A and B are shown apart, each in its own frame.
Chain A
Amino acid sequence: MITFIIRRLLISIPVFLGITVLIFTFIALAPGNLADALIRPELGFDQAAREAILKRYGLDQPLPIRYLLWLANALQGELGYRVNSGSAVGSEVMRGLINSIILTGSALVLGILVGVPLGVLSAVRQYSKIDFGLTAVTFLGISLPSFMLGLGGLYLFGLQLRLVPIAGMTSVGKPFDFVDFLRHLALPCLILGFGYAAIFLRYTRASMLDVIHLDYMTTARAKGLPNKTVLSRHAFRNALIPVITLIGLSIPEIVGAAVVTEAVFSWPGLGLMMVEGVNDRDYLLIMGITLVLATTVLVANLMTDVSYGFADPRIRYN
């Protein structure tokens, strides 16, 4: 296993570099550039002013040189500064990442904790009222757009029932209060978690249904094992592989995939920051976020592969 992990980590290095090269190139190819975002409109025609800005931000260099300059700085922990606010990209990305992990991470955990058990239940009780009910709720969760759920949730739980505050991470103008923070987190987390739970439920149900009708399940029952043991040890464990794959694929979403929810709930996460970065042609910010995103994808894939071994003893990596 250790060898496998080391090998995967080594393979990750060129993959990681490849991702950064691609993103860097795409940013360079996008219409408009940093000079357009920085230059004063009335000086847009002024070639000298434009060149000064290009030089200041190193945009006058050929693309490969620019990439290498960025990479060399990044390896030393220097990710540069945001175009608009001048804040260090590293600390800005960290701030957004933490906020996104809090929101999307807790929603993902919620989705797993709710979706997977209900998926098992739905499969075990196939075609029962519970199954139909859960299927209906699942389709709602998958098909309802998050902005609609967000605004609807704010209207119902925030405005009408006054159970949660309207948007934001904490109440402004007051000292930090953990309970207050949890109240702000509750609704966006539930709404995002609802979507995750719906997806995990469907996958778990389908995966369980694939397994519970196989011959070895009949064998397990025939040798007198209790149904609970059959389901947990033989069915669920084997059904987990696709679910683990799905969870692995979902982990990178923690890094800024909840743009709409972050916008509706005024949650200052990495998704909104990425949108701002693209609008501003702030390539240093985009690259900083890409760094985190690429790392998350690679780590999540590695964790997924390792998890396969835990879930299914037949899978060996040596």
Chain B
Amino acid sequence: MARRKMSRPRLGLALALALVIPVLAACGTTSSSPSTAASQPGASQAAPSVATSAAPSGAGAGGTLIGAWVGPCCNGNDWITPLDPGGDAHWFDKIYGRLTTFEVLDPIKQAADFDANSGVYGKLTGDLAESWEISADKLTWTFKLRPGVTWHDGEPFTANDVKFTIELCYNKKNTMAPCHYVTAVAGAVGVKEYQDGTATEITGVKVVDPNTISFTFTAPNSLFPTSISELFIVPQHKLKDIPPEGMKAAEYWKTSQIGTGPFKWSKYTAGVSTELVAFDNYWRGKPKLDKIIRRHFKDVSAALLAFDAGEIQLTYLTADEVARERQNANAVVLPGASGVDNAIQANPAKYPEFAKKEVRQALMYAIDRQAIIDNVYLGAATIVPCLYGLPNLKGSVAPFAYDPAKAKSLVAAAGVDLAKLGELTMDTYYADPLSLNVMTAIAQNLKDNLGLTVKPLQITDGPAWNKLYYTDGLSQMSFWGAANGPTGDRGYNYFHSAAAWPTGSNGWKGYSYKNDTVDKLLVDARVEFDQAKQDALYAQVCQVTSEDLPALYLWQTVRFHVVSKKVGNMILIPAAGGGSYYDAAEKWTITE
């Protein structure tokens, strides 16, 4: 056998090449829009300002804001699209516009004195729509679009784009999971036929002229302008040739996506960052910042360290870090309602004991919610009496107090021995340690007060949880989140019998909640155009469901962001559950 030795210099060269070649190759792993003009970083002259304060007079333009845009979940997914934004809506609103949006009540107060349940959303205002009105028969909403708005490529924004977006939402072939929050559109004339394939368009959505679009419903829908606020409008001229089946995976979303927002897509580097540059022709005026960069972090703690080191100017903050960051002289902590209630759902289809209202009420009495909020969430949550937390929606309904004796007596009166159920699994899709601690505390309460043994189980993969909970209906007990606002119509999706799974989120395979009174209240609220009367109807929904307990709505958590004081004029609601609001990103400044 002939053997050859590799000489030392040759070995060294091979090692050097092995290390250097991949490094050089790695330098080319970015994709960028060919049409993106290079930004010209201007000399920023902005004086330091509190993140939510008005810009100091004489504040200059230019500069780059780098943020993390992370949250309590889903940070592994740095690749999503505007029709399926989830908690990333406050990133996509830099690129896209909606027909309507909400003003923020008082950003200064938000930072200084925040109450999750009083809310921070102001009145509904026009974004891409200039105005809207209802017909005399209250069946047709007509929106006048803002004239002169253009897409980032210079093409005019028209009513055809709105109709295209709506129809894309309801196209069954579309593989994206879009339009979660526009269920109110489902009542438009022709949606059913369009989805059945018997019509090629939604006839109730009509382009009146390039700047006018109307929506005709089968029944009055007072909440439509609110519902539509959560839908980003996408460009027809760019997407019409992409097959709906391939929409989610289209290369377009990471190379050349365009919107009507203040910043336009510039560069995406997989797993590293996404860069946006100012859109000079933005209809509200040219943005002051040159560039916004989203750095992709898989780990929230690493993002916070990057913030503390001054590498980024914005990130999500876990509740246990709030006190420390409030001591940071260079930072402002911004609290915000998550827009999500955490709830427990016990499965009556598997355990008939939970079909008894008294037993569900006993579970609620047995959980010391305030102690869990104080000690585990460190105060960053507020008890809710039902799905609704906003004062106008919950009315005077009081939440269940912690009362172990009452819990025991209710279970005894129902003739149930929960200890005999054996060990139940409480599943969740929340993957963070905080949620595990919360579930452990709940389990301890249930064990101590009712003898019920519950074992928390975090299922980190979405499809597996969906299959367990919805498709198979095998969940024994579950801990999950329910979107709770900004209007009471959210309740329709959880409580109305017409929204029984799989049509809506009411129940799962083998079970759904049905209460004729609640059904009527929810429908009446939809057709009620008087705000006070509508609120009163939702308060009644709250009253009935707080007694019925279709699910045990526990609390709404507060979420936090921390922003550098170098940033001026920033409005940010850390509602990782989504939500539409006008954050005036075109006015943001940074002192570099």
Chain B residues in the interface with A (C-beta under 8 A):
1-3, 5, 15, 18-19, 22-23, 25-27, 29, 64, 66, 76-77, 79, 172-178, 180, 245-246, 248-251, 253-254, 269-273, 275, 291, 293, 295-299, 301-303, 305-306, 308-309, 311, 460-464, 466-468, 470-471, 501-504
Contacts and interface: CB of A to CB of B under 8 A. Distances in A.
Report which residue of A95, A280, A317 has the largest number of chain B beta carbons within 10 angstroms of its beta carbon. A95
A81 B309 contact: no
B305 A155 contact: yes
B81 to A, nearest CB: 9
Contact of A154 (B5, B178, B273, B302): B302
9 contacts: A45-B503, A98-B26, A167-B297, A167-B305, A172-B293, A173-B291, A264-B301, A267-B271, A279-B462
A137 interface: no
B302 A41 contact: no
Contacts of B464: 31-32
A266 B297 contact: yes
Interface of A: 1, 31-33, 36-46, 48-49, 52-53, 56, 81-87, 92, 95, 98-99, 101-102, 105-106, 109, 151, 154-155, 158-159, 162, 165-173, 176, 178, 181, 262-268, 272, 275-276, 278-281, 309-310, 316-318
A168 B272 contact: yes
B3 A309 contact: yes
Contacts of A102: 19, 22-23, 26
B79 A85 contact: yes
Contacts of A151: 301-302, 305
Given A83-B249, A266-B295, A44 B466 contact: yes
Given A102-B19, A173-B273, 8 more contacts: A42-B504, A44-B470, A46-B502, A48-B172, A53-B175, A98-B29, A109-B15, A263-B299
A133 to B, nearest CB: 29
Report which residue of B245, B291, B309, B503 has the largest number of chain A beta carbons within 10 angstroms of its beta carbon. B309
Report which residue of A41, A178, A278 has the largest number of chain B beta carbons within 10 angstroms of its beta carbon. A41
Contact of A37 (B308, B462, B471): B462
A172 B463 contact: no
Nearest to B460: A279
B273 to A, nearest CB: 4
Nearest to A102: B22
A267 B297 CA distance: 9
Closest 10 CB pairs of A and B: A268-B271, A86-B249, A45-B502, A32-B463, A166-B306, A36-B463, A172-B273, A263-B298, A98-B22, A40-B177
Contacts of B66: 172-173
B461 A32 contact: yes
A49 B175 CA distance: 9
B1 A40 contact: no
Given A38-B175, A272-B76, A162 B270 contact: no
Contact of A52 (B173, B246, B309, B466): B173
A256 B464 CA distance: 23
B267 to A, nearest CB: 9
A81 B249 contact: yes
Nearest to A106: B19
A173 B29 CA distance: 15
A278 B462 CA distance: 11
A262 B298 contact: yes
A40 B313 CA distance: 35
Contacts of B309: 158-159, 162, 165-166
A84 B77 contact: yes
Contacts of B302: 151, 154, 166-167, 264-266
B463 A37 contact: yes
A155 B305 CA distance: 7
Report which residue of B2, B23, B468 has the largest number of chain A beta carbons within 10 angstroms of its beta carbon. B23
A281 B464 CA distance: 10
Contacts of A318: 1
Contacts of B5: 310
A31 B467 contact: yes
Contacts of A85: 79, 249, 253-254, 270
Contacts of A281: 463
A44 B503 CA distance: 9
Given A45-B502, A105-B19, A170-B272, A95 B29 contact: yes
A85 B175 CA distance: 12
B297 A32 contact: no
B268 to A, nearest CB: 10
A57 B399 CA distance: 49
Contact of A38 (B18, B248, B273, B298): B248
Contacts of A95: 26, 29, 270
A268 B172 contact: no
A84 B79 contact: yes
Contacts of A162: 309
A170 B269 CA distance: 11
A87 B26 CA distance: 17
A99 B295 contact: no
Contacts of B22: 98, 101-102, 105
A310 B308 CA distance: 51
Report which residue of A102, A173, A265, A281 has the largest number of chain B beta carbons within 10 angstroms of its beta carbon. A173
Contacts of A262: 298
Given A36-B467, A172-B275, A279-B460, A266 B23 contact: no
A278 B468 CA distance: 17
Contacts of B248: 38, 83-84, 86
A43 B172 contact: yes
Contacts of B29: 95, 98-99
B52 to A, nearest CB: 24
B237 to A, nearest CB: 20
B1 A86 contact: no
A6 to B, nearest CB: 14
Contacts of A166: 302, 305-306, 309, 311
A181 B18 CA distance: 17
A44 B462 CA distance: 13
Given A31-B464, A84-B77, A86-B249, A172 B272 contact: yes
Contact of A167 (B79, B306, B461, B466): B306
Nearest to A44: B502
B249 A84 contact: yes
B19 A109 contact: yes
Contacts of A267: 271
A279 B1 contact: no
A33 B463 CA distance: 8
Contacts of B76: 272, 275-276, 279
A272 B305 CA distance: 20
A267 B302 CA distance: 11
A252 to B, nearest CB: 16
Nearest to A4: B1
A310 B26 CA distance: 33
A278 B177 CA distance: 19
A22 B298 CA distance: 30
Contacts of A87: 251, 254, 270
Report which residue of A32, A46, A162, A278 has the largest number of chain B beta carbons within 10 angstroms of its beta carbon. A32
Contacts of A81: 249
B3 A266 contact: no
A278 B461 contact: yes
Contacts of A39: 175, 177
B1 A317 contact: yes
Contacts of B18: 105
A155 B470 CA distance: 42
A162 B305 CA distance: 11
Contacts of A43: 172
B77 A169 contact: no
A37 B296 CA distance: 22
B177 A266 contact: no
Given A41-B177, A53-B175, A102-B26, A272 B471 contact: no
Nearest to A266: B297
